[in-house]
Amino acid sequence: MKLRRRTALLAVALGAGSARAALHEVAIRDMRFEPELLRIRVGDTVRWTNREKRTSHSLLFKGQPESERLFPGESLERRFDQDGEFDYFCGPHPEMKGRVVVE
Ligand SMILES: [Cu+2]
């Protein structure tokens, strides 16, 4: 009986934790966004970090100005407050593509 109650409390605690906004990491490495497809929740933040040795990159979302260049070791964060599918690519290397799906 006691054990069952403790399990229920744990479930409530986990539920509360998953409702909080999360931070998701995307690495920029070997001329790719890793992962290319990211599924997140409304209110979550994504952090892109350039893990290259010498190449700089940028982020360009459709309909928005290009970000500043990210040099190796630098990061950029963006919070997503609306649901939808957000495609982006790298300004100097348009073949580098990624997508954030906000649910
Ligand atoms: Cu690039």
What's the gap in Å between 42 CA and the centre of ligand 1? 26
- Residue 1 within any structural domain of the chain: no
Rounded distance from Cα 93 to ligand 1 centre (Å): 4
Identify the domain containing residue 93 by its residue range: 21-102
**Domain of residue 40, CATH code:** 2.60.40.420
If one counts every other C-beta atom within 10 angstroms of the C-beta of residue 61, the result is 15
The answer to whether 23 touches 54, Cβ cutoff 8 Å, is no
Asked whether residue 16 is domain-assigned, the answer is no
The total of structural domains in the chain comes to 1
Those residues with Cβ within 8 angstroms of residue 52's Cβ, 6 or more apart along the chain or in another chain: 28, 29, 30, 72
Cα-to-centroid distance, 19 and ligand 1 (Å): 33
**What is the rounded CA–CA span in Å between residue 64 and residue 99?**
15
The answer to the question of residue 76 being in a domain is: yes
pLDDT score for 8: 44
The phi and psi torsions of 16 (rounded to 5 degrees) equal: -65, -40
Instruction: Please report whether residue 3 resides in a domain.
Output: no
**Could you give the 3-state DSSP secondary structure of residue 6?**
helix
For the stretch 51-87, pLDDT in tens is 999 999 999 998 999 999 999 999 999 999 999 999 9
pLDDT, tens digit (0-9, with 9 covering 90-100), for 15-65: 444 568 999 999 999 999 999 999 999 999 999 999 999 999 999 998 999
pTM passes above 0.85: no
Could you give phi then psi for residue 10, rounded to 5 degrees? -65, -40
